[in-house]
Amino acid sequence: MRINVAQLLKEPVGSTRSYQINELVGKEGTNSIKGEVTLTHTNRGILVKGTMTANVTGVCSRCLNSADCSVNFDLEDEFLPSMDTSKGLSLPKEPDSFAIDSNHVLDLSEVIRQYTLLAMPTKLLCRPDCAGICPSCGHNLNQGPCQCPPQVHDQRWSKLVLLKKGERSLNGITKEKVC
C-alpha cells in the first residue's frame, strides 16, 4: 500500500487526493483490507484520513484454532516528508511520526497494521459458543467430550460444589433439592 505523493507535496496546502484500497495482505493472502483514504497536503506533510475494513485471521482465545474476524476502523495520521521537494534537502525526522521516504512514497502498511490491531477484539473467538479445550488433556471440546475422569474437587470447596449442582446441605446433615 504504497502511494507516490511527490506531486501532491508540490501542490498548495489543502490539495487532496482520494484512493480506493482493496488489497490482499499476509503470507497466504488470507487477510484483506478494503476502504477509501483521502490524502491532504498540510503545512507539515500529508494528512491521511480514511475508513477501512480489515478481514483478519487469528487464534481463538478458547480452543486455539484459527479464527476469522472483520474489523472496521477510521484512521487519521500525518506523514512527514524526509526530503524537501523544492530544494532536495533532507529534513530531520521527528520521533514517533510516520515518514514519507526520500522517493516521496507514503507507505500505509504500518499505519493500517497498528489501527487493525487496536480495533481487534480483546478475546478473538472462532464462534460465540466455543467450548475451548480441556485443562487436563488439551482435547478440543468443540469436537466432543474428552476421556478425562471427572475432576476431584478440593474438600474445602465441597459446599460450593453442592450449591453448583443444585443441592443444599445444612452442616452436612440434610440434603434437599434447591428450586
Residue after which a domain boundary falls, among 74, 104, 119: 119
pTM metric for this prediction: 0.72
Domain that holds residue 101: 2-119
Residues 27, 109, single domain; the answer is yes
* Residue pLDDT, tens place only, 62-114: 999 999 999 999 999 999 987 665 555 555 566 677 888 888 899 998 999 89
Answer yes or no: is 65 within a domain. Answer: yes
Query: Strand ranges (DSSP E) for the chain?
Result: 2-4, 16-25, 31-41, 46-59, 66-81, 98-100, 105-107, 167-170, 174-177
Answer yes or no: is 38 within a domain. Answer: yes
Answer yes or no: is 52 within a domain. Answer: yes
Q: Is the confidence at residue 10, as pLDDT, over 50?
A: yes
Total number of domains in the chain? 2
Residues 162, 109, single domain; the answer is no
pLDDT grade for 61, boundaries at 50, 70 and 90: very high
Tell me the percentage of the chain whose pLDDT exceeds 90.
51
Residue after which a domain boundary falls, among 119, 138, 158: 119
